[in-house]
Every structure is written in C-alpha cells, then in structure tokens.
Structure 1
Amino acid sequence: MKISISREEILPALQTVNGVVERRQTLPILSNVLLVISKDNISLTATDMEVELVATIEKTSHKTGEITLPARKLLDICKALPEEAQINLEISNDRASINSGKSRFVLSTLPAQEYPLVEFSEDKTHFQISQRNFKNILDNTAFAMAQQDVRYYLNGLLLELEGNKLRAVATDGHRLALCDTEIESRPVKPIQVIVPRKGVTELTRLLRDDERNVDVLISSNHIRLDLDGIKFTSKLVDGKFPDYTRVIPAENDTPVVANKELLRQSLTRASILSNEKYRGVRIILEPSKLRALAHNPEQEEAEEEIEVTYSGNEMEIGFNVSYLLDALNIIKTENVFITISDPNSSCLFLPENSKDCKFVVMPMRL
C-alpha cells in the first residue's frame, strides 16, 4: 500500500481527528488513527469509544487499502515537516515508512480489522440547522454541565426537539442554562437526548460561526453531524434528564435591571476577598441599589455598590459568585434582567429584550 500526499492536504484532517485521541488509552489501538485509502478519497478516523471523528480528503489513488498508525506521532511528524513538503507513505510487514525529502520515519502499525467503529442504527431523526445557531446554543449552555457527577445524566447536555425549535439545557444541580433556536426542517416527533461532555466539547470546536447548514442525525444511541468533509458521531448518555422546567422561576413585576458590565466588574472585584473554597458573596437589594459583600476566614472584607433599576422589597441573599459571573460572561446584551422573588428562591438571569436564553442560579447559605 502506497500513497503520496502533500503536508497541507493531510495536516488539517490529522489535527481535527486528533482531538478525540486520549493520551492514556486502555486499548492500544485507540491511540491510533485509521487510514483508509479508496479510489476517490482518503479517510482518517479517530475514536475514544464515545466520540468518533472521520475526516475525508478528496484524492484519487491507484492503490487501495487500510491500516492504523500512531495518531500523535503521525501528527507531530507532519507538523514538523517544512511547508509544501510532499509525504510518501508506504506500508509493508506491519511497518509504515514515511519519506519526505531527506527525512525518513518508520512507524509501527496495527491491523485495521481490529479498529472499533460506531454502528449507527437506521431508525433516526433528521433535521438541518445553521452552524452559527447550533454553536451559539452550545456555547451559551455548556458551562453549566456537571463534571464527574455521580448523577451521570448531568455530565452532559440535553438537546430537546419539538416542532421547529431546538433547545439546549445544562445543569449541575447548582445552576442551570437554557437556550432556544430554530431549525430549518421539522422532525417527525419530539425527542430528548443527552450528549456527553466530550461530545459537546468536540462539537463546539468543530462548528463554525457561519450560516452554512449542517445535517444532524439522531438515533436511539448516537448523534451524528456531517460538517464540510468531517463526520462527527457521539454516543448518547443513557439516562433521563430531570424536569428542568420546575426550577426555572417565573418572572415578576419588579426585576432588577443592571448594566451587565458594571455588575460583572463589581462582582469580580468583590470575589477577590471571598472564601476560596465556597466563593460566597452576599447580595443586598435596596430600591435603586445593589450591594455585594464578601469576606473570608482571614477577616478580610470587600464591599461593592452599583446603581440599578429596582423598586421591590429590600432583600439579602447569598450566592456562589463564580456561578453569577459565569452567567454574566455569557450574556452579551448591555443590560441584564434579574428576577429574585425571595431569599430562598432561585435567581433568574435574562438578557435584555430576549427570552431565548435563561440562566438560573441557586442561592447558598452564608
């Protein structure tokens, strides 16, 4: 098996698929990339048994075949070669010989037959969505996913399809993020699936900020996207997502309206002297005024005060300041609407003049 390809043709594909290759693998073959040479194209496949990426390069070839090569080493070799370098790859006797100019490398290989590939079931839901809209709802919610929680269904992101609306929801039990967008084609039936953290991370890396549509296929166990010569497939989390609608507070008649950037900066300053472990900050609401107080075990204190639009009752409530800042960093509008009904209830953050995204933060005892 022989192939000749330029560095510029193979390097972007290698960089894309290497994203899912873990450095420490239980199965040696998972450290490899599957190289398949057909008459019309060359495909590179990498997987960690949860997420699979396939990059296809349009290139005609007289000889066909398939083999697996060490993914990181192959990438490092191609990166280190000079620009416009021509790479000649030849496979013989379980060894891969790579020649480029006066450089020569010999890599070990493993048989392609042993490489685990995802089996995508035929029964599937199909829809189209612009890459920008899909990336936007993932970026706006992924920060609220749990990390290594025993409630494994929280270590991922819920995608909910109904009519022509796609909703993304993530929560770790302390805060929740929700974002809606419209899809191009209407699916047959409403569905809910949970995409694991690794899948969400790879998707946000692959999706582009443009209006081109992407095909999304969802089966009982997998989600698949076809993106510009790259095929992304991820397992779905087998579990039931909690009823998130019960924890979203209703909007009231006296929301706090604050300049988002002023509030973010004042909370950032107050957080400097908060307890490093619990990150607690006390928010005191008074008519037209919001104060943020923080202190730590060393008896150090910080106090911030900003003007806000608020005409409700005086109130004092504690929050993890990191959760408040995460929500404010996602909101892009000039002002932010904050609904707090009482000191024991969740706090709802809304961007100005938009109901597409909602952010909920639970209070904490201080």
Structure 2
Amino acid sequence: MQLTEASRDTVLKPLTTVVGIVERRNTLPILANVLIRKQAEAVEFIANDLEVQITTRSAFGVGDGAQATTVAARKLLDILRALPDASQVKMSLDDNRLTVQAGRSRFALQTMDAADYPLVNQAGQWDASFSMSQKALRELFNQVHFAMAQQDIRHYLNGLLLVLEPGKVRAVATDGHRLAHAGTALDGQTATLDVIIPRKTVHEMQRLLSDDEQSSIQVDVSTSQIRFRFDHIEVISKLIEGKYPDYRRVIPDGYDCHFEVSRETLQAALQRAAILTTDKLRGVRIQLGEHLMRLSASNAENEEAREDIEIDYPHAPLDVAFNVTYLLDVLASLKADTIRWSIQPNTSSSVLITLTGDDEFRYVVMPMRI
C-alpha cells in the first residue's frame, strides 16, 4: 500500500528535522527507528529518545487511509540523501517492509510495529505559556549554552535554567567554573516559574530555530515538561529535576573597575596564545596595567606566547589567570563589536563580562592557578 509520494527534498526536510535525536546505540532497538504516521494526505515523522520527542507534519500522503510504521531512521536518511536531487520518491508499506522507490532505484527496508513505539505522554496541564520570535529564543540560548556542564554528577548543571518572570524570560547556564546569564522582555508573560531544560534539548532547539524575526514559536511549560511548537514542528522534552544554584549570588555587583576592549581583537589574541597551552593546562595569564592588557601563555617545553592590547585602563594593576577556553567560548557566541570587562584589582576574584547597551547579558569566569 502506497504511503507517500513527493520530491526527494520534500521528504528529506522533515526527516532531517527529527533524526537529530536518534541515538546510534539504544537500549530499545525501536528507538533507532523513526515513526511514520499517515492519515489521508497528512504525514507525521516522529523521533523519540525517551527524553525528548520531535514531530514534524507534512502533506504528501497518498490515499485516504491511515497507516503507521517504524523504520531505521538513519538508513532511510542515508538513502534519501544518496538519491539524485530531482528524484520523485514513493514510499509503500507491504508485508512489514517499507519500499522506497525513485526512478530505477528501489530499496526494501525492514520495519517494526508502530504500536510498540514509545510515545511521550504530554502533560495534562501547562503552568505557563508564551510566544516569542524564533530568532529571540535562539539568541537567548546561543548566549548561554556553552556554559552548561557536560556529564556532571550534579545532574541539574547538565542543562539550562529557564526563568519566567512577569514580562521577562531569562536563560542561565553554569558548570561551576563559569556562569552565563541572558534575558529578554516578553509581552504577555505573567507566570513565575523556573525549569531546567536538558542539554540535548537546548542543542536541538538551536539547530531547528530560524533567525527570522517574523517567525514565532509557542512555548508551553509545566513542572515536568516543556513543549515548543513552530513551523509544523513540535518538540516535547522532559525537564531536569533538582535545585539549580542561585545565580544571583554568583554575579558580582560591587566591581568598580571597568574597561572596554574589541571583541575580535581579544578573540584573535587569545586564539594565538592558546596555541601554546596544553589540554591539561588551558590557562592564559592576563596582566592589566596602565592602558595595557597583556596576555601570555606557556607550556612544559618552556615555549611562550605574549600579546599586548592597548586599552583604556587607569586602575590599579592586576595579574590573574583564566581558562582560555572559557574566554573563547563567550567571545565566539557574542555578536557585539566591543565587550566590557569589570574586575576588582588586588583580589583573585572573578571577571564579569557584559555588553554595552545590554543590561541582561552577564558572563562570570572564575580565575585559575597556573
């Protein structure tokens, strides 16, 4: 029985959208599959890893009947990618096998029963709902995502804190050595709620969201789930349970020594200095003096790198070291021409990086010993 018929790109686009969360190794073999559901001309592709589920909806079904099956997601993706761009693709389901035809090419794939596919049970009630532009949400995630922990035993750090306040939404991420904070105004948002979004879900949303200010996204939040709906796509994710650290206590507010520096100039200098650091010791030394910022790095082979940057710095001298990766991460994520450093000389305290004209973005990096 024929399921669908459409151009290769028409089928490839929704499949590519969902296949990103499919793991190559799964405890449940069916999770390596994509669920295909057809009702008349409406076709859904669904992928699920038990933590996050992505659904896409298209209109290239054939016939009036309803059909559903699951097939190896990456196999189907590889087949479609290998077909000529202008191919017309037909998919049919017969005797528990999915047949994919395009011109003189024909593939028969084993399937698994759609009834065995573990779909996410959606929350019965959402505690908060709001809409915003896809670009605004993508930029919010982009400004903080790099500070999330990776496989930390403190599981609540392996995600992003989403803070809802009346008229505002904030995003916070920290791995215990650095903290990134960003926020944006939100019309019509009245709820007060804090939730932790898993790292994988954040990265998938960064991949899927567009930079179009005119394209909106609907976000629904409960205490256990978050749902994103946009562009015929639905993403439902579990939330991480746990008590997130009080980010307000980490962000310093008493620093009275500030200077501005070109983001690109500093980024390029740090990239050059990082060449002579090692994987185990990624430290770069920063010395601040009158109108000068000196960056230096060395390694066990007694090799050294040094860069001088002119700055407007009339304050007391400071000699401190930071993980160069932590500094490069934030510089790569920002679009501003100039960044603002705030420090407290004669202490071994953190540095606060902010943006001129953006009171919401704050990035705190703890010093290190080298």
The CA distance in 2 between the partners of 1:337 and 1:168, in whole Å, is 20
Does residue 1:335 correspond to 2:322, yes or no?
no
Among 145, 148, 162, which residue is 2:148 paired with? 145
State the partner residue of 1:365.
Answer: 369
1:60-98 deviation line (CA, Å, top 9, x unaligned): 532211111111111122222223433332222222223
The CA distance in 2 between the partners of 1:243 and 1:352, in whole Å, is 25
Does residue 1:346 correspond to 2:350, yes or no?
yes
State the partner residue of 1:259.
Answer: 262
The CA distance in 1 between the partners of 2:161 and 2:86, in whole Å, is 43
Q: Secondary structure of the equivalent of 1:261?
A: helix
Q: Secondary structure of the equivalent of 1:109?
A: strand
Q: Percent identity over the alignment?
A: 43
TM-score (norm 2): 0.94
- More displaced stretch, 95-104 vs 231-240: 95-104
1:162-190 deviation line (CA, Å, top 9, x unaligned): 01111011111111111111223213x20
Instruction: Determine if contact 2:12/2:80 at 8 Å carries over to the other structure.
Output: yes
Over aligned residue pairs, what C-alpha RMSD do you find? 1.5
Q: Secondary structure of the equivalent of 1:264?
A: helix
Q: Give, in angstroms, the shift of residue 252 of structure 1.
A: 3.2
State the partner residue of 1:96.
Answer: 98
Among 277, 280, 297, which residue is 1:277 paired with? 280
1:239-277 deviation line (CA, Å, top 9, x unaligned): 111111111111533212222222222222222223431
1:97-155 deviation line (CA, Å, top 9, x unaligned): 23332222211111111101111112212100111100001011101111111111111
Q: Give, in angstroms, the shift of residue 161 of structure 1.
A: 0.5
Instruction: Determine if contact 1:332/1:351 at 8 Å carries over to the other structure.
Output: no
Does residue 1:119 correspond to 2:121, yes or no?
yes
Instruction: Determine if contact 1:120/1:219 at 8 Å carries over to the other structure.
Output: no
The CA distance in 2 between the partners of 1:162 and 1:281, in whole Å, is 38
Does residue 1:246 correspond to 2:246, yes or no?
no
Q: Secondary structure of the equivalent of 1:358?
A: strand
State the partner residue of 1:313.
Answer: 316
Q: Give, in angstroms, the shift of residue 40 of structure 1.
A: 4.2
Gaps of 5+ in 2: none
The CA distance in 1 between the partners of 2:53 and 2:30, in whole Å, is 14
State the partner residue of 2:232.
Answer: 229
Q: Secondary structure of the equivalent of 2:115?
A: helix
Instruction: Determine if contact 1:334/1:352 at 8 Å carries over to the other structure.
Output: no
**In the superposition, relative to structure 1, how do residues 278 and 100 fare at CA in structure 2: closer, same or farther (>3 Å)?**
same
Does residue 1:2 correspond to 2:5, yes or no?
no
The CA distance in 1 between the partners of 2:356 and 2:109, in whole Å, is 57
TM-score (norm 1): 0.95
1:41-60 counterparts in 2 under 5 A? 41-59=42-60
Matched AA of 1:93 = D
Q: Secondary structure of the equivalent of 2:257?
A: coil
Instruction: Determine if contact 1:273/1:295 at 8 Å carries over to the other structure.
Output: yes
The CA distance in 1 between the partners of 2:334 and 2:91, in whole Å, is 49
Matched AA of 1:263 = L
The CA distance in 1 between the partners of 2:86 and 2:284, in whole Å, is 56
Matched AA of 1:87 = V
The CA distance in 2 between the partners of 1:201 and 1:128, in whole Å, is 20
State the partner residue of 1:14.
Answer: 15
**In the superposition, relative to structure 1, how do residues 19 and 309 fare at CA in structure 2: closer, same or farther (>3 Å)?**
same
1:73-222 counterparts in 2 under 5 A? 73-124=75-126, 125-187=128-190, 189-211=191-213, 212-222=215-225
